[in-house]
Amino acid sequence: MANRRFQPNRSRKKRSSQPFLEKGVSALVLGILMWIASLLPISNPLLKMVAQALRTPALFAIGVGALLLTTHVLLQWWLKQRNADNSQPRLEPTLAAEPVHTSSTAGATVAPSAPVPPQAAAKPASPPPMQPPTPQAAPPAQPPSEWSKDVLAAIEWRRFEALVEKLFAQAGFETRSQSHGADGGVDIWLHSKNAEGPVAVVQCKHWQGKAVGVREVREFLGVMASHNLKRGIYATSSTFTADALAFAKDNGISAQDGNGLLRTIQSRTPEQQAELLKVATEGEYWRPTCASCGVKMVQRQRKSGGNPFWGCQNYPRCRSNLPMKNQAQSE
């Protein structure tokens, strides 16, 4: 639909640029012919004077022809750039995305439960001495067999990002993502076959029990501006505040909450839905990934007691930690 809609405009603009080409070639050819005529050996004094007089209009015609041809080339380049942008795959109305978590944000959004306080995620304080990993939490009895809100709640943040990326791949985009580490505020880069460089960025927030606020969306707009991009998608498993939705709408950001994602998934073919479910529940989909190291976290227990939590396998080199799901839901 998008290609058919923009095709007539492209054809109309291309035809409007042809006069520059035709007139430019005509002027250039005329100028060259007059210049050649001015150089011919003529014995007749009168004709020789006329021939020499052709040099000035010849140079003028050559200059005009060169100018028209240059205008034609520049206009064609501009039309190509504009048409490439118009012919990009359309972002689905219910699938707006946004750039990736920073390492601190990822810490807050990683758990398939309530987010860790930002200050704890950004620069976790040295945790109390910990015992060796305790017996691990039991995985779900069996992976989910169909899509529901429970699937979005059960998967960890990395599987959520992989799910969103697959949705855009199914929509015709070429995608690029980063599994862990500092990402500069972009989770997924979207590329089109018809344009050079990224055409949009996506940020994913796997939050539960906390709505994405206007501050997070405003920060995402800053990331878009730093990359000179006007299209962005912010996807969350949670919801958006009213202020965040209004800000996103005013600034060209497509805000997609958990319900919107489910509607998009359920609008796909049964085969595509099965493919998306396979991506979402790949491996230990329920066990969170360390946003700094990219390895699966393990269940740990502080020596001082308290609730168990998820900690990085690389402790003490990496001190990233997250509350466990049942604990987070109770907070």
- pLDDT tens digit string along 61-97? 899 889 888 888 887 776 666 555 554 445 544 443 3
The whole-angstrom separation of Cα 163 and Cα 268 is 13
Mean predicted confidence (pLDDT) in 157-170: 94
Mean predicted confidence (pLDDT) in 259-264: 96
Residue 17 confidence class, pLDDT cut points 50, 70, 90? very low
* The predicted structure's pLDDT at residue 104: 34
* The predicted structure's pLDDT at residue 182: 54
* End-to-end Cα distance, the chain: 47
* Sign of the C-alpha dihedral computed for residues 211, 216, 218 and 224 taken in this order: negative
pTM: 0.56
Mean pLDDT of the chain: 77
The whole-angstrom separation of Cα 93 and Cα 245 is 14
Longest CA–CA span in the chain (Å) reads 114
Query: For 283, which DSSP code?
Result: S
**Which of 22-31, 35-44, 205-214, 286-295 holds the top average pLDDT?**
205-214
Among 328, 323, 321, residue whose Cα is nearest residue 297: 321
The whole-angstrom separation of Cα 278 and Cα 272 is 10
The whole-angstrom separation of Cα 295 and Cα 304 is 26
CA 196 to chain centre: 13
Among 297, 95, 293, residue whose Cα is nearest residue 179: 293
Range with lowest mean pLDDT among 145-159, 261-275, 310-324 = 310-324
Q: What percent of the chain has pLDDT over 70?
A: 71
pLDDT at 213 over 90: yes
Q: What percent of the chain has pLDDT over 90?
A: 35
Tell me, what amino acid is at 193? K
